[in-house]
Amino acid sequence: MNTSCTECGAELAVPNDAIVGEIVSCKDCSTEYEVAEISNGNVLLKPAEQVGEDWGE
Partner 1 sequence: MVRVGILGASGYIGGELLRLLLQHPDAEVTAATSRRHAGEYVFRVHPNLRGVTELKFSPDDASKVVESSDVVFAALPHGESVKAVPRIADAGLRVVDLSADFRLGDKGQYPVWYGYEHPRPDLLEKFVLSVPEINRDQVRGARLVSSPGCMAITAILALAPLFRERSFGVDRDHVVVDAKVGSSGAGGKPSLATHFSERYSVVRPYKPAGHRHSAEVEQVLAAMAGERVKVSMSAHAVNMVRGILVTSHVFTAGPVKALDVWKAYRSMYAGSYFVRLVRDKQGPFKLPDPKLVVGSNFCDVGFEIEERTGRLVALSATDNLVKGAAGNAVQSMNLMLGHDEKEGLTMAPLHPV
Q: Site residues (CB under 8 A) for partner 1?
A: 7-10, 26, 28-32, 50
| Closer CB to partner 1, 5 or 43, in the complex | 5
**Cβ at position 47, least distance to partner 1 in Å:** 10
| Closer CB to partner 1, 8 or 36, in the complex | 8
Sign of CA dihedral 21, 14, 41, 3: positive
Question: Which amino acid type is present at position 12?
Answer: L
**Cβ at position 52, least distance to partner 1 in Å:** 11
Decide: 7 and 26 in contact? Cβ < 8 Å: yes
